[in-house]
Amino acid sequence: MKHPLACRCGQLNGYVVCSGHENRGICYCTDCQAFAKYLGQGSTVLDQAGGTEIVQTLSEFVHITEGKDALRCIKLRERGLLRWYSACCKTPIANTPDNVNLAFVGLVHNCLEGQGHQPAESFGTVKMAAFTESATSRLKPKAYGVPSAMMRIVIMLLKARIFGGFKKNPFFNIETGQAISPPRVLSADELEQLKHNDAA
Ligand SMILES: [Zn+2]
Ligand SMILES: [Zn+2]
C-alpha cells in the first residue's frame, strides 16, 4: 500500500510505501516548534499543545516523484537533524539525521494530508508522545510509548543497514553521502528568537 506525499501547492509529489512498522507519534520538543515557526507554519503544523505529528519510517520507503528540486533543509544548530521543507510553499516535509548511514525519516504530517488523505488511514494510531514537558498547553499531555518507539527505530535502522535499504534515500546523494540540498544552519540568535516567538 502507498500513501501519497505532497507539498501544499502540489509542486512536490511522491508517496510513502506502508511497511507496517511505522511509528506515528507527536513530538512536543521546542526544536520541532521552532522549525514550524521558521516556516511561518506554526498554526498549520502544531497542535493546540505545540505538538508536531510525525510518521517515522525508513528512507527506502519514501519516494519523491516530482519537484524534488524544491526540497530545502535547515539545521537549527551545527549538530542537529536536517529539517526538510518545500521551497515552493514552505510545507514541512521531514526530519532526517545528517548522516546517510542512518536511514531514518520522520515525516511531518502536513505532507501526508493532501487530497483529503490522513496519516491515520495508512499508519495507524498515534503510538508515542515525546518531550511533553515542552508542551505549550497549561495541562501537559502525558508522555507515552517512547521506549518502544526507540526500540522499533533501532530495529528498523539495523534492517536497513543489513539489507542495504539505506542506499535508497531521496534526501541524500548516496555516492557522496551529502544531503541533496546543502543545509542552512541557523545562528544561535535566530534559533533563540524562533523559540520565543509565539506569533509565528
Ligand atoms: Zn509546494
Ligand atoms: Zn521534536
pTM of the full predicted structure?
A: 0.95
The grid coordinates listed for 159 are: 534492517
33 burial (CB, 10 Å; 0-12 / 13-18 / 19+) is: buried
Three-state secondary structure readout of the chain: CEEEEECCCCCCEEEEECCCCCEEEEECCHHHHHHHHHCCCHHHHECCCCCEEEEEEEHHHEEEEECHHHEEEEECCCCCCEEEEECCCCCEEEEECCCCCCCEEEEEHHHHCHHHCCHHHHHCCCCEEECHHHCCCCCCCCCECHHHHHHHHHHHHHHHHHCCHHHCCCCEECCCCEECCCCEECCHHHHHHHHCCCCC
Are β-strands 13-17 and 62-66 bridged in parallel, bridged antiparallel, or unpaired? antiparallel
What is the pLDDT at residue 133?
97
What is the pLDDT at residue 110?
98
> Ligand 1 centre and the CA of 110: distance in Å?
11
User: How far apart (Å, rounded) are the C-alpha atoms in residues 96 and 56?
Assistant: 10
User: How far apart (Å, rounded) are the C-alpha atoms in residues 145 and 15?
Assistant: 26
What is the pLDDT at residue 198?
75
Are β-strands 52-58 and 13-17 bridged in parallel, bridged antiparallel, or unpaired? unpaired
Domains and CATH numbers, the chain: 2-191 (2.170.150.70)
> Ligand 2 centre and the CA of 70: distance in Å?
23
The grid coordinates listed for 163 are: 539489507
> Ligand 1 centre and the CA of 70: distance in Å?
8
Do residues 107 and 92 touch, judged by C-beta distance below 8 A?
no
What is the pLDDT at residue 21?
84
Calculate the CA 65 to chain-centre distance.
Answer: 18
What is the pLDDT at residue 197?
79
Q: What amino acid is encoded at 148 in this protein?
A: S
Ligand nearest to the CA of 134: 2
What is the chain's pLDDT, residue by residue, as a tens digit (200 residues)?
999 999 999 999 999 999 888 999 999 999 999 999 999 999 999 999 999 999 999 999 999 999 999 999 999 999 999 999 999 999 999 999 999 999 999 999 999 998 889 999 999 999 999 999 999 999 999 999 999 999 989 998 998 989 999 999 999 999 999 999 999 999 999 999 999 877 66
> Ligand 1 centre and the CA of 151: distance in Å?
34
Ligand nearest to the CA of 13: 1
When computed from its CA atoms, the radius of gyration of the chain, rounded to whole angstroms, is 16
